[in-house]
Structure 1
Amino acid sequence: MRPKIVLFGDSITEGSFADGGWGASLANHFSRTADVVLRGYSGYNTRWALEVVERVFQFGSPAEEAAPLAVTVFFGANDASLPDRSSAFQHVPLHEYKQNLHAIISFIKKQWATTFILLITPPPIDEEGRLQHPYGESPDGLPERTNEAAGAYAKACISVANESSLPVVDIWSKMQQFPGWEKACLSDGLHLTASGNRIVFEEVVEALKKDGLRLETLPADLPLLSEIDPQDPLKSFRN
């Protein structure tokens, strides 16, 4: 069977198969070597993700549940919603966020000991962008998320990765290295533009390469055109 790379996260993962999305770019990148499987759930935090994780990773019959090559775990943007503003119902306290990430990691490891797990921090927040695209009523004129809070959850995600001896993509820090990141990388102060998606894609590919998951080492599922003998094409499919 063709191996899987599973993307598990919130709306930034759910939307990653849109035009220019980082998930779609991964699917294109691994088009002949692995299936990129989308498991993104808009609005979800780690508390909700932990509640449904068993259902998320049921792919079908036992024969179809071979260990994925890799799983990305990309949560925190909703957990970091402020507890006294319009997205309070999505808020998860920082200590619980860490516990939930540990529990999700433990579940995946118990299911598939060999699967490569990659954590991704929440992205930075453009507070002006959130005010222009508010979620719900904001009578006090304040955004429901702040970059400071997102940064705290990003640091917590990195801490969990270190405690679990796992790699992590620090998107919160990486994006802020780009001039004008607020509008260049974020479409509404939270979700990604094409440029923001490109950054995530490149960082994920680089992290996978460090673990040996690179195109040069992954076999194609069937013979490539260059491997087919023009004089006897069917011979390649019989070997």
Structure 2
Amino acid sequence: MRPQIVLFGDSITEQSFRSGSWGASLADTYSRKADVLVRGYGGYNTRWALFLLHHLFPIECSPTILIVLITPPPIDEEGRKQYAKSVYGDKAMELPERTNEMAGVYARQCVELAKDLGICSIDIWYKMQETEGWQKKFLSDGLHLTPEGNAVVYQEVVRVFNDAQLSAEEMPYDFPHHSKIDGKNPEKAFKQQCV
């Protein structure tokens, strides 16, 4: 069975399969080696993340699964206000909004939880803020990722996969390359692949 990379998350994860985004880039990198699937659950909800982690992927029952927690990105509060005003007009000021401070609290909790459970984590919240001008460089509406922001997430995910010996370059193809298939005896190439 072909390995699977399953991306669980909110709207940032759901958007990861847009052209040039981090999920689409993973699918391209692992093409013919692993299936990359997205399962978004919407919203910015710690309870959902914990439910998924504890009930869908109990660590003690799944030693062959690599679980990686990715923190939320930082929040460009001014960018969020501008976006909300462009969408909701004057009602935008009445809407509750996320803050970078609270995103940081959530990010630290993700990293600590990963340490407690002995699983990998990627602190995108911290990583992105290392770059000057991160607000506009990495975030399109103060929250969702630009192509540059998607590149940061992709690079960090690939780094963790490589560290876990899951490098796409080292994984076998699930089917032989077409140049290895003899049109008169195609079974031979497939038998070699299975050995």
**What TM-score do the two structures reach when normalised by structure 2?**
0.85
1:208 and 2:161 matched? yes
* Alignment-derived partner of residue 198 in structure 1: 151
1:18 and 2:18 matched? yes
CA offset digits 1:99-131 (Å, max 9, x no partner): xxxxx2464025523200001011100011110
Structure 2 matches for 1:76-87, cutoff 5 A? none
* Alignment-derived partner of residue 139 in structure 1: 93
Task: Give unmatched runs, 5+ long, in structure 2.
Answer: none
Deviation (angstroms), 1:208: 0.7
* Amino acid in structure 1 at the alignment position of 2:62: W
* Amino acid in structure 2 at the alignment position of 1:10: D
CA offset digits 1:60-98 (Å, max 9, x no partner): xxxxxxxxxxxxxxxxxxxxxxxxxxxxxxxxxxxxxxx
Other structure's SS at 1:195 match: helix
Deviation (angstroms), 1:196: 0.3
Task: Give unmatched runs, 5+ long, in structure 1.
Answer: 54-103
* Alignment-derived partner of residue 31 in structure 2: 31
CA offset digits 1:134-165 (Å, max 9, x no partner): 2863436x871111111111111111011111
CA distance in 1, matches of 2:33, 2:93: 51
Q: Which has the higher helix share?
A: 2
1:130 and 2:84 matched? no
* Alignment-derived partner of residue 165 in structure 1: 118
Matched residue count = 186
CA distance in 2, matches of 1:218, 1:225: 17
CA distance in 1, matches of 2:23, 2:185: 34
Deviation (angstroms), 1:44: 5.0
Contact 2:74 / 2:143 at 8 angstroms: preserved in 1? Answer: yes
* Alignment-derived partner of residue 219 in structure 1: 172
Deviation (angstroms), 1:47: 2.3
Deviation (angstroms), 1:238: 3.8
Change (3 A) 1:50 1:168: closer
Change (3 A) 1:50 1:176: closer
* Of 199-208 and 129-138, the range deviating more from structure 2: 129-138
Contact 2:33 / 2:173 at 8 angstroms: preserved in 1? Answer: yes
